[in-house]
Amino acid sequence: MRRALALAVSAAALTLFAAAAAPEEKELAAALPAAFARAADQYRLLTEQMKAGNGRHPKSFANGKLVTIPPEDWCSGFYPGSLWFLYEYTKDPFWKAEAEKATEIQEKVRHYNGNHDIGFMLMSSVGQALRLGAGTPQRKRRYEEILHDGAAALATRYTDKMKLIRSWGKIGDERSYLVIVDNMMNLELLEWDAKRGGAARSAEIAKNHADMTDGHHFRADGSAFHVLNYNQKTPGKILEYRSGQGACASGAWSRGHSWAIYGFTMMHRETKNPRYLERAIRAADYAINHPNMPADGIPYWDYHAANIPDEERDSSAGAIMASALLELSALAPAAKAAAYRAFAVRQLRALISDGYFAKRGEIGGFLLKHGVGSKPQFIQGGKGGEVDVPLNYADYYLLEALLRFKALTEQPEAASAARVDARHVPERMDDFVWENDFCGMRAYGPKVSEPRPAGEGLVSSGFDVFNKAVPDVMMAETLIRGVKEKISYHQNNGRGFDNYKVSTGRGCGGVGRMTEDGWRYARNWRTQRVLEKSGQKAVFELGYEAYTIRGTVTAGAPFTRFDVLPRTGASGKPAAGRDLMGPGLDVSADRRHDGTLKIDLKRGFVANFEPFGVDGDGNGNVMTAILLDPACGPAHLASDETGCLHLLQRGNVFTYYAGAAWSGAGRFTTPDEWFAYVKDFADSLAQ
């Protein structure tokens, strides 16, 4: 499970990585004005040629001639969309006027349901017009009506039985039910409709289609199939896998895979469903780490085509992927986010180089050379095959990616989304809480130990776990709101909740000491302070009777580092006699923490995959783990009287890690996935 190790990058390594990437970002930022100036020059040539366009749009340039299309073509929205992007960057009224003229043509397809592509046709044109200011209130209302009509038309291709939108073929065709991965891109139209007064059913359709695609449209290695033919007699079963526009049914067509990264990133943005984020991450990792990915990041038209001499790259697949990765970089865990952003920068620097970016007057006014539409269709002599030509959607996603990069680089660092927090929450009876993009944890303070009603009468050095479905900081806010508004933070609100029970146990990482006379535990912490805090790292100290725990929590991995130090005046020498000390992990049946255990004393960890939360079934699985730093020497395992397993070492100065994850966040859903992650993390500590 090598993808797990990448998540465990240290904060220091991440800082070095970001510093190394800075020059490339600066170079790209410096090149933006020239790139948009060249793009404006090229598109002025296109607008001149389209003055007598007769309700058509430019799509490509082949054999020395401009290729145009009617609004019913799936690519019809991209030319108007590119004009809107030029207006967004330049603020030149010329581009707004041209964009409005081109967008007006799209009204003709507001009820089109001949295939699934109306989302492409309308969101890239009418959708951009609304985003950037459609002009008069009357025009704005008409554009909104067009999108609502388009969503209704798309919904006619959906069936409740299949829980899928039919991509190709006639509605009602009983012989085939074809679904292509590109269809993920059209779900944005349905999400827009549901959020802006349209049919509530639109969101349900989008979710069902995304869930089915997530469940069936990907291979075990994370790559996407292009075309699936579903069995209508047995919904959810596949009749056949087709190669579609890829080299073969078992291969990965690069543009389709880029659609997958983009589509699931967009669906996570719209729904906050962590399952979609995980799918986008897996798809992105497949592409970035593929052995056939060229050094400049612009893929071959099929990921397996690199093994065949003289095969073409596809600039459109690279542009779509770059735009998707930039959005994904704002949603993914920090270590992943840095890698995605750096890879997108690499792709964009290549795409605006002379190797791909047209010089003034080249290729009929389009921007990107070396696009591949459908090579299999081209080989068969089919219409619209398009190999090594400019493509209007390549231009669209290049401009979108450049604008996304500009927006990211212009955000002040302080305004970037915080992924880490540590603070005292006196409102929640003296809890001290800390969290990162994976999970939250808390330790109990003095007031919690007071008898009810002032406190809970809880005396424990244990650490509690707070499940999170979103990466941003939210735990303290949820606890405070729960207290003030009497809202239970034990109930899943879609963002995060607590269904983990500590009681008098060690929970996930609380410290215990095994002596000759039995087990000894600290009471609740006495002092707390935050030593350092930023959006990506926090350092804090909790003072107990005989020792202080210094916690370091960073973004990008579920584990917090804990350094245990003796209190001032106490000895740092090994404890006398047979005393052993270390973190505990609750695996007791009484508190419903019994689950699937993995114990690896050689690597120094105990991991648990719990089947149910304490609040009953249906809340998903809680995964916990504790790890001793290898520098502490050999780990000893012992179970205390409360049902907690302890990783023990001889001494009162030591370092360990503790953390958790929740299956509802979508990152880990099986014991094997969690245990493989913990193993990789332990191996990274040893290195």
According to DSSP H, which parts of 156-200 are helical? Answer: 187-195
Taken in order 676, 219, 275, 339, is the CA torsion positive or negative?
positive
Report the chain's C-alpha Rg in angstroms.
Answer: 28
Each domain of the chain, given as residue ranges in start order, spans 2-415, 421-510+520-686
- How far apart are alpha carbons 380 and 369 in whole angstroms? 22
Among candidates 191, 192, 85, 186, which has minimal Cα distance to 129?
Answer: 85
Q: What local confidence, expressed as pLDDT, does residue 20 receive?
A: 39
Q: Taking 90 as the threshold, does the pLDDT of residue 417 lie above it?
A: no
Burial grade of 453 (CB within 10 A; 0-12, 13-18, 19 or more): exposed
Kindly report which listed range (13-22, 137-146, 262-271, 581-590) carries the lowest average pLDDT score: 13-22
Q: Which residues contact 121 (CB under 8 A, 6 or more apart)?
A: 71, 72, 74, 76, 77, 106, 109, 112, 150
* DSSP, res 22: H
The verdict on whether omega for the bond into residue 453 sits within 30 degrees of 0, i.e. cis, is: yes
- How far apart are alpha carbons 168 and 653 in whole angstroms? 65
* DSSP, res 113: -
Q: Up-side HSE of residue 601: CA atoms within 13 Å toward CB? A: 10
Summarize pLDDT for 164-186 with one digit per residue, the tens. Answer: 999 999 999 999 999 999 999 99
C-alpha dist (Å) from residue 160 to 229, 234, 627: 17, 13, 47
Q: What local confidence, expressed as pLDDT, does residue 326 receive?
A: 97
CA dihedral (370, 374, 378, 380) in degrees, to 10, reads 160
Q: Taking 70 as the threshold, does the pLDDT of residue 15 lie above it?
A: no
Q: What local confidence, expressed as pLDDT, does residue 54 receive?
A: 85
pTM over 0.75: no
Three-class SS state of 643: coil
- How far apart are alpha carbons 235 and 469 in whole angstroms? 29
Note if 586 is an active site residue: no
Q: Taking 70 as the threshold, does the pLDDT of residue 572 lie above it?
A: no
Burial grade of 407 (CB within 10 A; 0-12, 13-18, 19 or more): exposed
Note if 117 is an active site residue: yes
Confidence of residue 684 (pLDDT cuts 50, 70, 90): confident
- How far apart are alpha carbons 522 and 504 in whole angstroms? 11
Summarize pLDDT for 490-502 with one digit per residue, the tens. Answer: 887 778 889 899 9
Average pLDDT score, the chain:
90
Structure tokens at 405: 């990069």
- Name the active-site residue from 73, 92, 149, 182: 182
Structure tokens at 642: 């409360």
Single-letter amino acid, residue 563: D
Q: What local confidence, expressed as pLDDT, does residue 613 receive?
A: 55
Confidence of residue 412 (pLDDT cuts 50, 70, 90): low
Locus of tokens 């002599």: 381
Q: Which residues contact 596 (CB under 8 A, 6 or more apart)?
A: 608, 609, 611, 671
Q: Each residue of 511-524: b (16+ CB within 10 Å) or e? A: bbbbeeeebebbeb
Burial grade of 380 (CB within 10 A; 0-12, 13-18, 19 or more): exposed
- How far apart are alpha carbons 283 and 180 in whole angstroms? 16
Single-letter amino acid, residue 572: G
* DSSP, res 414: G
Summarize pLDDT for 41-90 with one digit per residue, the tens. Answer: 999 999 999 987 789 999 999 999 999 999 999 999 999 999 999 999 99
Summarize pLDDT for 425-465 with one digit per residue, the tens. Answer: 999 989 999 999 999 999 999 999 998 888 889 999 999 99
- How far apart are alpha carbons 549 and 633 in whole angstroms? 19
- How far apart are alpha carbons 294 and 434 in whole angstroms? 41
- Label each residue of 352-377 as H, E or C: CCCCCECCCCHHHHCCECCEECCHHH
Three-class SS state of 115: coil
Three-class SS state of 190: helix
Q: What local confidence, expressed as pLDDT, does residue 606 receive?
A: 97
Q: What local confidence, expressed as pLDDT, does residue 407 receive?
A: 93
CATH of region 2-415, choose from 3.40.640.10, 1.50.10.10, 1.10.760.10, 3.40.50.960: 1.50.10.10
Among candidates 292, 338, 440, which has minimal Cα distance to 18?
Answer: 338
- Label each residue of 519-575 as H, E or C: EEECCCCCEEEEEEECCCEEEEEEECCCEEEEEEEECCCCEEEEEEEECCCCCCCCC
Q: Taking 60 as the threshold, does the pLDDT of residue 617 lie above it?
A: no
Three-class SS state of 435: strand
Q: Which residues contact 400 (CB under 8 A, 6 or more apart)?
A: 81, 85, 323
Spatial strand order of the sheet with 527-533 comes to: 527-533, 537-543, 547-554, 559-566, 654-662, 622-628, 605-610, 596-600
Q: What local confidence, expressed as pLDDT, does residue 157 receive?
A: 98
Angle, CA of 332, 180 and 223, to the nearest 5°: 45
Cβ 132 vs Cβ 82: under 8 Å: no
Is pLDDT larger for residue 37 or for residue 20?
A: 37
Summarize pLDDT for 216-235 with one digit per residue, the tens. Answer: 999 999 999 999 999 999 99
- Name the active-site residue from 41, 73, 92, 117: 117
Structure tokens at 192: 């827009």
**Interval 138-156 mean pLDDT:** 95
Q: Cβ–Cβ contacts within 10 Å for residue 91, how many?
A: 9
